[in-house]
Structure 1
């Protein structure tokens, strides 16, 4: 199936890690998996999850103001606690917490009301389901087969019938989400714990797309996925095909009381521009408190990023990946008609900004957001080898405190020299 064009045009999405782990502020699901807290202590958080101030309309308004075009909510993490009133046997906030209600439907409605595409996160794995730890990944070394009792049978003896029950449960839950909400995107996780054949991902994809044929599937559906999902660090080489960078605002996915190591707005602008310059989307994560409110520090970062995007929207939306590395010392994007090149200056230029390899005549250079025209000239060049384009540095109010963007209007579509120069 061809990739849905909305995804590659979106540029920014918001990841929402929301679940019972916010009660004590522990690592989502992993806290009991790694023994940071006991399983009993982790699950006791069910008693404190209230969603008392959960208002997805407030979320959606904030995300839209940030400039996001889609959002992804953790409908069910590895701990198996569903955020909706699932009809399957298993844990849910509707039946097992004071929240006592479905939290997914309101989220879906609010996002669509504010024009955002709807994404739902669902973990293939469920470390609380009694039938989950019943088989072993075929590539797992024997000495590791029973290392994690939440994943594999303790005695190393597989129980195929239990695994069949788990797959039926997994597929039924996914079908509930798809039938009820027709999500624009399903963001799967936990795929590493079984092989693609064990997960029966071809059957799962068929079950999804037969009901909602336009739903985008992330790369953790393995061969059935539509795009790649690197986490926490920009790839050095652009992934083949569509992709998104998943990034936390601080160091945590879910809410953690003591994590105040929030990235600055300037750093988030840098991550964002470098990502879209490589043709990807940024999926920026927030971790709401258990009551459903997003911490002020995270709101401030989203608002700051949104302010920058609003001032530089022409360089963000309806653009494609810009110049390859080496042509400009910073990120860049290219308009869809390939006639305007946007140069991002992450640091305030001093004498000038240089661009190499552009064969086109540059009709005009302006500072995006202020419209100030900048003088420019080409120095050098020989035959088919173009000279270096030098642009006078912007000054004063034309310099953005986070990143300045220069718009180069070209004569014709971008014609880029990629050679080695004259021998």
Structure 2
């Protein structure tokens, strides 16, 4: 699987969880699945979903100012409500809500006008369609999935209805998204309720790539995606290959008025730096209100993150994962030519910053954003034994309020010592 270069260089995407669940501010899909309210009460939100202040160009401009290179919209969550005028079911905001229009098309068009790549989320699961809960997997990987909206009772399976769902709804809607909106990325979810053989994910991948060969597919395809998708926390050991952390500005995914624990810009900068330092992308989520407006506190956080990225963009886009922890106690990024190492310091540096195990000579150290040069020297080491000394960089007098980035220009491609020293 060859990953598209735009994705690995994007670093930041914006996740948008938007749907009828924003009307009453309840958890998307899960609120009726778990019995917090009836499905009938959940679906009454259709009557209040207006999208009256939906301005996708405003979204796209905000996302671009945040430093994002792509965005992903929840075109259909597990509740089965489509944000476009699908012909495969009768459950869409175009047919069943006061919004009465396709919301996906304007989103895709606005992103492209502002040079952002188009990502579309689509749930494999559909807890509203009567043909969906008709087969059981060979084993329940998540025991709580044995739910009347997802599974038939043992002995009540109906494989013909499952095949009808797969053919007419699942595959049909994915074809609609591909042909109408030409997404650069399909972001799947909800595959855990069936076996790979029931979904026939390998066939789905082949079908998608026949229709649009350059489409990036996320990892929630039971082994047939292009990259891993950890959630809500930077992994201690990053996945091999390309990956993306999906993360929320608040605590919830969709809009919930009681969700006021908005992460600070400093927190978001930290998570972003740790993610790209480990070689991943950050997919940062916001949940718009039912009228299409983005929560002001979320917009402020995105603007703040974008300001930090602009000041330090040299260390962001055209970089790869940096040195392992132990060499530097913080994130680091490496330029594509492997001749500049960027060290991130979250706290105000005091006296000096250390870098261990660097074989290269350092030509210059400077602070990104200000360009101020910083003194540095090498302490200790055992040159005759091939053991480099410790590089000590003087604490800069100017520093960023969120995270200071130092650029170390090396005398060649980076070389690291990973041995145990001489004794």
Q: Name the structure 1 match of 2:91.
A: 91
Alignment partner of 1:331 is 2:324: no
| Per-residue deviation, 1:221 | 1.2
Q: Name the structure 1 match of 2:28.
A: 28
Q: Name the structure 1 match of 2:135.
A: 135
Q: Name the structure 2 match of 1:154.
A: 153
Whether the 8 Å contact between 1:49 and 1:97 is mirrored in structure 2 is: yes
| Per-residue deviation, 1:207 | 1.8
| Per-residue deviation, 1:89 | 2.1
| Per-residue deviation, 1:154 | 3.5
Deviations 1:241-262 (A, max 9, x none): 1000000001000000100001
Alignment partner of 1:405 is 2:381: no
Partner Cα distance (1:207, 1:177) in 2: 13
Deviations 1:172-192 (A, max 9, x none): 000000011221000000010
Query: 1:136-215 residue pairs with structure 2 within 5 A?
Result: 136-140=136-140, 147-154=146-153, 156-168=155-167, 169-215=169-215
| Per-residue deviation, 1:68 | 0.3
Whether the 8 Å contact between 2:15 and 2:72 is mirrored in structure 1 is: yes
Partner Cα distance (1:18, 1:115) in 2: 22
Whether the 8 Å contact between 2:12 and 2:69 is mirrored in structure 1 is: yes
| Per-residue deviation, 1:206 | 1.9
| Per-residue deviation, 1:150 | 0.4
Query: 1:15-414 residue pairs with structure 2 within 5 A?
Result: 15-140=15-140, 147-154=146-153, 156-168=155-167, 169-382=169-382, 383-395=385-397, 398-414=398-414
Whether the 8 Å contact between 1:253 and 1:287 is mirrored in structure 2 is: yes
Query: 1:8-19 residue pairs with structure 2 within 5 A?
Result: 8-19=8-19
Partner Cα distance (2:36, 2:310) in 1: 42
SS in 2 for 1:229: coil
| Per-residue deviation, 1:144 | 5.4
Partner Cα distance (1:104, 1:408) in 2: 44
Partner Cα distance (1:415, 1:404) in 2: 24
Partner Cα distance (1:278, 1:173) in 2: 35
Q: How many residues end up aligned between the 2 structures?
A: 420
Deviations 1:306-346 (A, max 9, x none): 00000000010100101101011110101011111100001
| Per-residue deviation, 1:223 | 2.0
Whether the 8 Å contact between 1:196 and 1:222 is mirrored in structure 2 is: yes
The 3 A distance-change label for structure 1 pair 145 and 331 is closer
- After superposing on structure 2, the runs of 4+ consecutive aligned residues of structure 1 that deviate more than 3 Å are 143-147
SS in 2 for 1:118: strand
Whether the 8 Å contact between 1:146 and 1:156 is mirrored in structure 2 is: no
Unaligned 5+ segments in structure 1 are none
Deviations 1:6-49 (A, max 9, x none): 11010000000000000000000001011112211111000000
Unaligned 5+ segments in structure 2 are none
CA RMSD, aligned part only?
1.3
Partner Cα distance (1:77, 1:156) in 2: 28
Whether the 8 Å contact between 2:84 and 2:102 is mirrored in structure 1 is: yes
Deviations 1:89-130 (A, max 9, x none): 231000000000000000000001100110000000000000
Q: Which moved more, 1:262-271 or 1:85-94?
A: 85-94
Deviations 1:183-230 (A, max 9, x none): 100000001010111011122112211110000000001221000000
Partner Cα distance (2:114, 2:144) in 1: 47
SS in 2 for 1:119: strand
| Per-residue deviation, 1:131 | 0.5
Whether the 8 Å contact between 1:145 and 1:156 is mirrored in structure 2 is: no
Partner Cα distance (1:192, 1:160) in 2: 18
Deviations 1:281-327 (A, max 9, x none): 00000100000000000000000000000000001010010110101
